[in-house]
Structures are given as structure tokens and as C-alpha cells.
Structure 1
Amino acid sequence: MNRWDSTPIIRFFGGRTLLYILGILLIIGLNILVYSRVGFLFHPVLVFVKTVALPIILSVVVYYLLRPIIQMMESWRIKRVWGIIITLMLVVGLITLLIILIVPFLEKQFISLAEELPQYLRDLVNTTDQWLRSSVVGNYYNDLFQDVNGILNQLPDLSTYAAQTVEGITSFITTLTNVVIAIVTLPFILFYLLKDGHKLPNKIVHIFPPKARKEVMSVFKGIDHQLSAYIQGQIIVSFCIGIMMYIGFLIIGIDYALLLAAIASVTSVVPYLGPMIAITPALIIAIVTSPFMVLKLAFVWTVVQLLEGKFISPQIMGKSLHIHPVTIIFVLLTAGHLFGVVGIILAIPGYAIIKVFVTHLYVWFKKRYNRYVDQEDQYETEE
């Protein structure tokens, strides 16, 4: 008599493995239910995770950036530990050089822009107001303007928001503390990642049963490839965008060229949405400067985006992630809504990791299905 877990339907879905998966899903669901009821008990754990997450994420990013250099030094028969020490010393020297040469100039532009920003915004509002009043929608705009003024006059006094201000200051102090902790712990975590990071998958794989180790190692290799391609490629692309933007801003003569180029370089790590965010401060300055400056800025921005989209990204990153642009936009919007700015930054690599898991799970089920079909064919042949 056949066991119930060897029936055709159960075998089709993976046999006992199906029960293991259902059991894991049940445990996850129960954990979510318990957390939703007594989440306050896990507050210390959440604080610990939030404190540790930032240095670990930064260490992983820097690890993937420096790993090719370490591997190159090993090919030159330099011991791994010495290669790590030399690389870290070079990185510290490069950062020190950038701080000495670029940061003071960048800081000067930032302070100047912060002082001039209120005036830029006032000029922008006045320019937009004059344009709307003189346009074909002028009458509708006047009525809307009066309605908005009436609503604003009914708003409570700013003094009622003192509690929110205190909360904002507390949040800023907490964030600053986490950043300081991340900077202090980053070198130590990074050193051990560079030293033993390549051994970590093998150690984790041995936790699993021998039959599953090959599949688990394949998952680790897929995740490693995805993260390596994305992080290394995105940093190089962002650097290229910053250089091209800076050259373009210098050519058209827009104010705060270095600062605006730095903003464009940093925000470009977010696909599709990053360039829109980067162009906003430059567009405000261009509108206040002159209409011709807006045209020149639009030309520079278009040229840079075309070069990045048609030549730089395909050559550097290729299609390693295999993610459709529409999927990227939905992932960014969802992650941004759930986790804010951090979610937007980590959305694409996080989605790539999940995709690796799902893909390998699908392939595993497909193998089980093919094995089931082969067995059935064999039974039919024997009959």
C-alpha cells in the first residue's frame, strides 16, 4: 500500500519537500501574527537591527567595490591579508585627498546655495505667478489663489508644531548616532569581509543536508553575481554621470556646477527616478537665471541621459539584472512607500536577490515535475 506522501499529486508538488515548505510558511505566518499582536516586545531587537543594518550594508557595498582589487593582488602572489591592508591604506589616502582638495570647495558651494535658496524659491514663485496670471488660465488661477490663501489663513499657528519639531530633532540625533556608529565599525566589518567573505557561502552551505548543498550554493552564486554586477556597475555609472554633468554645467555656465553635479551623481544610484530628483535643484536655478539657461540645461541633461542609457550603462552593466523597466518603477514606488529613502536605494538589489530565490525555486519544482513525468513515461513503457 502506497504511503499518502507518495501519491501522484503529492509527488507532483515535491513530496515531503512540499510539507517542509508549507511548514515553513506556516511558521512565518504565525511569527507575523504574533509580532502584530505583541510587537512592543520586539522593540529592542528592532533597535539592534536598525543599528547594525547600516554598517553591514555599507560594508557589503564597499566589499564588492574592493573585491576585484584584492583578487588582482592575489593574482600577483600578494598574500590576501597584505593585499587588504594595502588596499585599505590606498582608500584612506584617496578619501583624505578628496577631503583636502574637493570637500572645502563643495562645502563652500553648499553653504552659498543654502543661503541663496530662499531667494531662489521666492524668485521662482514670482516668476511662475506672473506667467500663470498672464496665461490663458489666468482667471482660474486667480480664483484658485484666493481659495488657497483663505485655507492658509485658517491654518493653526506654527507654535502648535513645537512637539513635531522636537520629534524631528530627536530623529535627527538618532540618525546621526547611527551614522557615526556605522563609520566607526565599517573598517572592522569590511576587513573581515574581505578576509573571509569568500569562505562564508561554503560554511553556510554545510548547514543544509548534503542533497541540498548544490542547489544552495547555486543560489549563493546567483546572489553574489547579481549584487556584484549591480553595485560595481552602478557606482561606475554614477561616477561617469557626475563627471559628464559637471563638464556640461561648466560649459553652460550655471551656478554651483560642482554641487549640482555631485547631487546628480549621488541620486543616479536610483534608476529612472534618480535623474528626475537630480535635475530639480538645477532647474530651479536655471528658471530664476533666464529662459535661455533652461534650454541649455535641458540640452545638457538630455545629452547626458542619452549617453548613459545608450552607451555607458549597456557597456558597464549590460543586462545582468534582467529586470524590465516597468518592474523597476513599480518596485521603487512600492519600496519607497514602505521603507522611505532607504527602501528606494535598496529596492533593486533586494528585488534581484528575491528574484534569484524565486527563479531557483521554480527550476527546482520544474526538475521535480520532469522527474515525475519521466517516471510516468517509464511506467507506461513497462506496461
Structure 2
Amino acid sequence: MKQELSKIAIWVFILIGIPAGLYFGKTFLAPLCIGVVLSMMLIPIMDWLISKKIPKGWAIAGSTLLLLMFFAFLGGLITIQVKMITKDWPQIEKQSLQLLEDAQKFIEDKAGLAPDEQLAQAKNMLSKMGSGGTAALGTIGGTLANFILIIVYVVLLLSQRDRFKEFILLNFPKHDHIRVRKALKEIRKTSGGYFYGMLKAMIILAILYGTGFMIGGVKYAFLLALIAAVFSFIPYVGNAIGGGLAALLALVSGGPSSVLIVIIVMTAAQMIDNYITQPYVVGKEVDRNPFMTITSVVGFGVLWGVAGAIIAIPITGIIRVTFQYLPGTKSLAFLMGNEKPVMEVKAVQEQVDERSSA
């Protein structure tokens, strides 16, 4: 009886206690987890620099600088494209007003609401949002502070990498050290490999989007391609968000024909991404089970927002590898993994044997 109660308590802790801790510890845990994943991604670069006889401190600085340069490059591209939009802003504003008038007429015909009533309801909705501007500024300030904190975590984790590895090894007997080292290597490969694969996939998508948009004559083709590709880092929902923003910008800058071209190009590019890029470029770095992948993205998205959705797959990949090497959790690793069940493999083998005997 006591054993059954203890099992129930463990499952209650797993299903309720851990999610609650992750939610209430979001301010501390989310930046830390992002820092851990990014530091694992930078370890191969750091090791390569050290192999070239560069001191450890300079290797850490070089790896971190490379990460900062990537973010600066991405921000610079977006800034350049936004400046191009500002030059055409009067035309975009005119097009937006025309679309707004058309939308108001459509609502008036279908719902019977006059444009003044529509405007009054819109103002009412905005007033209910309260101090939206202050909240937005707070969000921007918080995002900047978290970004700085993440970079600090990355530097500290890289500099204390050997200490953390030794700490983990000290918790296991010496005869298990080879197995533990193998697990740590696989964890590093899982998290870093996933992000490198996704980065390659993002670049390929940006090229496909940009080429298609330019051939179709869509204005701001590069900016639209960049927006849509960057959001692809968020599994499943990212493509919809990025595609929606790209279609909206295409609508106010070029009209319905541009939106149609954007939709056609993105649909074709997504088919290439789903059947070629993801399987062969991203690969099976985290050996992800589709059900566990979706639930982890949704779960971490609910707990930690966009940041949680982005790092959900590498985190669950790390957890799966950890479960794989711990003696009492291999069943959970199998549940999270993508390998075929033994019964299914046996059934397929029996069918093959029957056909060959026939």
C-alpha cells in the first residue's frame, strides 16, 4: 500500500509539481536554460579554437563574439529593410487606409455596424488594454535585460564547463564514468546539432522565399523572406506566424496579388522544407517523437512563451538522452524517442518471413 502511494505521489509531482515549478521559476529558469543550450552549441567552436593553440579565455571570448555577431547581423539586415519601408511609407499608408475603408464597408454590409460604431468599439477595446504602451516598453526592457543575462550565462557556463562535468562525474562511481561521459557527449551533440540544423534550414528557407518573392515581383522580397524564415525557428506555429506577417506586409505594400504570390511561394517552400530540408539537414538530432515534440512545444510555450517554444525540442532531447542512460527511466526515454516498438518490428519481420516462405 505504501509503495502504491509513493508511486502516486511521484506521478503527482511529475505532472503537477514540476510544471508549477517551471512556471513560477520562469524568470530565472528560462534565461538559464537558453544559456545552457547556446553554450552547448558553442562548445565545438570553443574546442576548435583551443585546438589551434588559442588560450581558453580567448576561445570563450571568440565563441561568444561569434554568437553576438550573428544576432547583430540579423538585426542589421532587418534594420536595413525597415529603412527601405520608411521611404515608401506614404504609399503604404495610403494603401492601408484604402484597405481599411474597404474592410469597414464589408463589415457594415454584413454586420450592420456603421464606420463610426466600428471605430468606437475599436477605441473601447484599446482602452481596456490599459497601459499598453508602458507594458510594451517594459517588455522591450525586459527582453534586453534577459538577452544580456543569457550572454552572461553563456560565458560563465563555457568558462566553468570542466567544473560542471567534474561535478556530474563525482555523483557516479568510477566504473560508470565512461557511460556518463558518453551521455554528456550525446547531450551536447543533441542540443547543439539541433540548433545548427535549424539554422541551416532557416537559411535555405530564406533563400527559397526570397527567390520566389523576387521572381513574383513582390516588394520588400528580402524582408518578407527574412521574417518568414526567422519565425520557422518556432516549431509548427512559427511558419504560420511568419507567413501571416509576411502576407500582411505584402497586402499593404502590393495588394492581393502579392499576398497570393506569398502564399504560393511559402506553400511550395514548406513542402521542400518538410520532405527534404528537415529530414536531411536537421536530421534526427533529438530523435524526436512527433507526439512528444508537439506536446513539449505547446507545454513550454504555455509556461515560458516564445522562448519556451523555441528551446522545447532541444530541452526534451536532453531529457530523453538523460533518461536513456539512467537505469530506472529507460521506459520514459523509449516513450519520448522515435524508435519503433519491438512488437511492431516483430510483426513486420513475421510478414516478411511469410511472404518469403510463400
Under a length normalisation based on structure 2, what TM-score does the superposition of the two structures give?
0.69
| Stretch of structure 1 that moved more, 110-119 or 253-262 | 110-119
Does 2:276 correspond to 1:301?
no
How do 1:1-383 and structure 2 match up within 5 A? 22=7, 25=10, 28=13, 32=17, 46=24, 49-89=25-65, 102-109=77-84, 111=86, 123-124=98-99, 145-146=111-112, 158=123, 162=127, 164-166=129-131, 168-208=132-172, 220-286=184-250, 289=254, 292-325=257-290, 327-360=292-325, 361-363=328-330
Question: SS in structure 2 opposite 1:275?
Answer: helix
Which stretches in structure 2 are left out of the alignment for 5+ residues?
Answer: 334-358
Separation (CA, whole Å) in 2 of partners of 1:303 and 1:207? 51
- For 2:148, the aligned partner's letter is V
- For 2:206, the aligned partner's letter is G
**Maintained 8 Å contact 2:39/2:154:** yes
1:329-382 deviation digits (Å, cap 9, x = unpaired): 44434444454433322332333234334545443899xxxxxxxxxxxxxxxx
**Maintained 8 Å contact 2:169/2:177:** yes
Separation (CA, whole Å) in 1 of partners of 2:257 and 2:122? 41
- For 1:257, the aligned partner's letter is A
Separation (CA, whole Å) in 2 of partners of 1:53 and 1:115? 44
**Maintained 8 Å contact 1:64/1:232:** no
Q: Which residue of 1 is the match for residue 336 of structure 2?
A: none
**Maintained 8 Å contact 1:202/1:217:** no
Separation (CA, whole Å) in 1 of partners of 2:257 and 2:121? 41
**Maintained 8 Å contact 2:187/2:318:** yes
Task: Work out the percentage of aligned pairs sharing the same amino acid.
Answer: 24
Separation (CA, whole Å) in 1 of partners of 2:271 and 2:39? 30
**Maintained 8 Å contact 2:250/2:258:** yes
> How many residues in Structure 1 have an aligned counterpart in Structure 2?
329
Q: Which residue of 2 is the match for residue 138 of structure 1?
A: none
Change in 2 beyond 3 A, CA 1:106/1:126 = same
Question: SS in structure 2 opposite 1:268?
Answer: helix
- For 1:238, the aligned partner's letter is M
- For 1:363, the aligned partner's letter is K
- For 1:180, the aligned partner's letter is L
Separation (CA, whole Å) in 2 of partners of 1:353 and 1:196? 19
Task: Mark the structure with the bigger radius of gyration.
Answer: 1
Separation (CA, whole Å) in 1 of partners of 2:159 and 2:85? 38
How far residue 214 of structure 1 moved from its aligned partner, in angstroms, is 6.6
**Maintained 8 Å contact 2:231/2:238:** yes
- For 2:39, the aligned partner's letter is Y
Q: Which residue of 1 is the match for residue 345 of structure 2?
A: none
- For 1:56, the aligned partner's letter is L
How far residue 301 of structure 1 moved from its aligned partner, in angstroms, is 1.7
Separation (CA, whole Å) in 2 of partners of 1:157 and 1:103? 30
Question: SS in structure 1 opposite 2:243?
Answer: helix
- For 1:145, the aligned partner's letter is A
Q: Which residue of 2 is the match for residue 14 of structure 1?
A: none
1:204-235 deviation digits (Å, cap 9, x = unpaired): 23235668767665654443332122122112
How far residue 242 of structure 1 moved from its aligned partner, in angstroms, is 2.0
**Maintained 8 Å contact 1:267/1:278:** yes
How far residue 328 of structure 1 moved from its aligned partner, in angstroms, is 3.3
**Maintained 8 Å contact 1:205/1:213:** yes
CA RMSD of aligned residues (A): 4.7
Which stretches in structure 1 are left out of the alignment for 5+ residues?
Answer: 11-17, 40-44, 134-140, 367-383
**Maintained 8 Å contact 2:183/2:322:** yes
Q: Which residue of 1 is the match for residue 347 of structure 2?
A: none
How far residue 252 of structure 1 moved from its aligned partner, in angstroms, is 1.9
Change in 2 beyond 3 A, CA 1:235/1:29 = closer
- For 2:238, the aligned partner's letter is G
Change in 2 beyond 3 A, CA 1:178/1:292 = closer
**Maintained 8 Å contact 2:26/2:304:** no
- For 1:313, the aligned partner's letter is Q
How far residue 319 of structure 1 moved from its aligned partner, in angstroms, is 1.8
Question: SS in structure 2 opposite 1:102?
Answer: helix
| Stretch of structure 1 that moved more, 316-325 or 168-177 | 168-177
How far residue 53 of structure 1 moved from its aligned partner, in angstroms, is 3.7
Change in 2 beyond 3 A, CA 1:109/1:127 = same
How far residue 267 of structure 1 moved from its aligned partner, in angstroms, is 0.5
| Stretch of structure 1 that moved more, 76-85 or 110-119 | 110-119
**Maintained 8 Å contact 1:55/1:186:** yes
Question: SS in structure 2 opposite 1:165?
Answer: coil
Question: SS in structure 1 opposite 2:160?
Answer: helix
